[in-house]
Chain A
Amino acid sequence: MKLKFLASLIAGFGIVGTAPLWAHHSFAAEYDSAQLITLKGTVSKVEWTNPHIYVYLDVKDANGKITTWALEGYPPNTLKRTGFGRDLLKIGDPITATAYKSKDGSNTGAGREFTFADGSKKFAGPVGN
C-alpha cells in the first residue's frame, strides 16, 4: 500500500512535463520492450526525416548473408537537441545498435543506443516502456 501511495504522489507531482516520448504514435503498439536486440552492421541508408528518422543497417550473419534492418529513432530536431547530429551517420560507417524489435515480424526496430566506431555512444530513440 505504501508503494501505491508513493506512486500516486510521483504520478501527480514527481515529474514536471510528462509529455510522451513518442509524440505522435504508440511505442508499445509497434515495438516489443521485452525484446532488446543488439545489431552490429554498417549504415546503408539514412532517412533524416519527420516524424522519426530511420537508419538502415546491413548486418552480416556467420554465413556472410546480409540482412538489412530499419531502425526508427527520435525526430531530427530532438536528436539535434540531444547532441546527435545528422553528421554522426555516414553511409558505410560501422555501428553497433541496440533496438527493440518490431511486433510486426519485419526486420524493423526502435533504435535505442548506437555505439560508433570510436567507441562513443548516443541514444537514437527512447527506452522501452
Chain B
Amino acid sequence: MRIPFVLSMTAMLWAFCASGQSAPNKPIPRTADGKPDLTGTWQAGGVSINGEPGAPPLHPLPPTKYRPPARQPIPYQEWAAAKQKTFTVLDDPTSKCLLPGVPRIVGMPMPLEIVQTPKEVVILYESFRAYRRIPINEKLEHPDDLTPTWMGDSIGRWEGDTFVVDVTGFNDKTWLSGLGSIHTEKLHVIERYHLNDDDTLSYTATVEDPGALTKPWMTGSVLRRPVDVRVEEYECIENNPDNQHIQKAMELQKDKKQ
C-alpha cells in the first residue's frame, strides 16, 4: 500500500515543481529572434558544482525549486531484462572510453556548452569529447541515409519556449543508464530543454524502444550554470587501466568463492 502512496506523492510533487515553469518570476534571456537563449555552459551534477561531505563547492549555486523527473526503472521486455543480468561493469562502453549515447551523456558530471543559432543548436560535451549538431527543422525530418551511430541523429524545433530534440539512428552499443541498460537500434529519444526563470535548465528525455521496452521511459535532470567553468579537453583513453584492475579483482573474488 505504501508504494502506490509514494508514487502518487512523487507524481504530485513533480507536477507541483513542473507547474512553476509556466509562471516565471523574471524574464528569461532571449535571442534576437525571441527564442529562450540556452547559450552557455551547463552541468547536471558532480562534486565540482554540488560539493561533497566535507568539501563544499568552490562556487556554491543557489538552490532551485525545479526538480528532475522521479527515477523510474526501465520497463524492459522479458528478453531485455534477462539479457541485462548477463552484463558486468566491464561491459560498460564508457569504461572503454566509448561514447555514452543519449540521454546518458547529459547526466555525466562534466560541463557541456550549448551554442545556439536560429538554424541549429550545437552541444559541445566535455565528457568523452562528444558533440552534437542539432539542425532546426519544423517537421523533425531526419536525413534518409542514416547509418546507426553512438550519439544518433538529432533534429530540433521550438515548441513554444521549449526546445524539443528528436534523436534516432542509434546503434545498439550504448547503455541508457546503469548496469546493462541495453537498447536496440529502434531507440528513439525525445528530449526537452526548458530554460527556467531561475537560470536553470530543465532537461527531460522520453525514451522509446519497441525492440526492448514495454512502454516509454522518462529520465532527466536540472542543469546548472557552473561558475568560472568552461568546457575543456577530456582525452579519456589517455590512461585508463581501471578495467584491468576490475578484471583482476573479479578473478580474485571468484577464486575466493571456489
Residues of A bordering B, CB below 8 Å: 1, 4-5, 8-9, 11-13, 15-21, 23-26, 29-30, 47, 49-52, 54, 72, 74-75, 77-78, 81-83, 102-106, 108, 113, 123, 126-127
Contacts and interface: CB of A to CB of B under 8 A. Distances in A.
B246 A30 contact: yes
Q: Which 5 A-B pairs give the minimum distances between C-beta atoms?
A: A17-B45, A19-B45, A103-B249, A12-B70, A81-B48
A51 B95 CA distance: 10
Nearest to A123: B55
B60 interface: no
B239 A83 contact: no
Contact of B252 (A18, A19, A25, A105): A105
A74 B109 CA distance: 11
Contacts, number: 169
Interface of B: 2, 5-6, 9-10, 13-14, 17, 43-50, 52-55, 57-58, 64, 66-68, 70-71, 88-89, 92, 94-95, 97, 107-110, 126-128, 221-224, 226, 229, 232-236, 238-240, 242-243, 245-246, 248-250, 252-253
A20 B219 CA distance: 15
Looking at chain B's contact residues, is the secondary structure mostly helix, strand, loop, or mixed? mixed
A13 B13 contact: yes
Contact of B242 (A17, A21, A25, A127): A25
A50 B236 contact: yes
Contacts of B52: 21, 123, 126-127
A50 B109 contact: no
Contacts of A17: 43-46, 49-50, 68, 107, 221-224
A25 B95 contact: yes
B70 A50 contact: no
A99 B174 CA distance: 31
B249 A29 contact: yes
A113 to B, nearest CB: 8
A24 B252 contact: no
A19 B6 contact: no
B45 A16 contact: yes
Contact of B10 (A13, A24, A72): A13
Contacts of A108: 245
Given A16-B67, A19-B109, A127-B53, A78 B48 contact: yes
Contacts of A78: 46-48, 109-110
A83 B44 contact: no
B110 A26 contact: no
Contacts of A126: 47, 52
A72 to B, nearest CB: 8
B92 A26 contact: yes
A73 to B, nearest CB: 11
Given A17-B224, A82-B57, A127-B53, A29 B246 contact: yes
Contacts of B110: 23, 75, 77-78
